[in-house]
Structure 1
């Protein structure tokens, strides 16, 4: 396995990483690996289709199933004679 060193890490960021690792019961190294894996796996996820994206957008509002109105005949087309 490869390893990397991250230099010049902001003190506040390191503190937040330490706290987050403690909350998850893991080391800072393991927490960093988990964060990197999640971030890179998210980029590799296949794009959603438009219908799925719209459904996920409105799901929190309780819109699970919409009533589809009945189809009506189209209006008469205009004549240009």
Structure 2
């Protein structure tokens, strides 16, 4: 097994690691090993995928989500048009 020393670690990061390790009932060293293992074994992030595809990947295992679609109204297509050039004449 190899040994790794990490220098200049922010105090906030060290404290967060300490608290996380305490919640899991392990040493800081073991918690760091677990986190590093998970990081290097995780599949690479999906490159070039749309936001829709990434959200779907997160929601689909949960059974999907049904969103209520509001009823269409007559004003759905109406838009106010502002012509800023008219103000200068």
In the superposition, the TM-score normalised over structure 2's length comes to: 0.53
Higher relative contact order (Cα pairs below 8 Å, separated by 6+ residues): 1
Cα distance change on mapping 1:53 and 1:5 into 2, 3 Å? same
Q: Which ranges in structure 1 are unaligned for 5 or more consecutive residues?
A: 63-81
Cα distance change on mapping 1:53 and 1:32 into 2, 3 Å? same
- 4+ long deviations beyond 3 Å: 52-55
Q: Shift in Å at residue 53 of structure 1?
A: 6.4
Aligned residue pairs, count: 59
Q: Which ranges in structure 2 are unaligned for 5 or more consecutive residues?
A: 67-89
CA RMSD, 1 decimal: 2.7
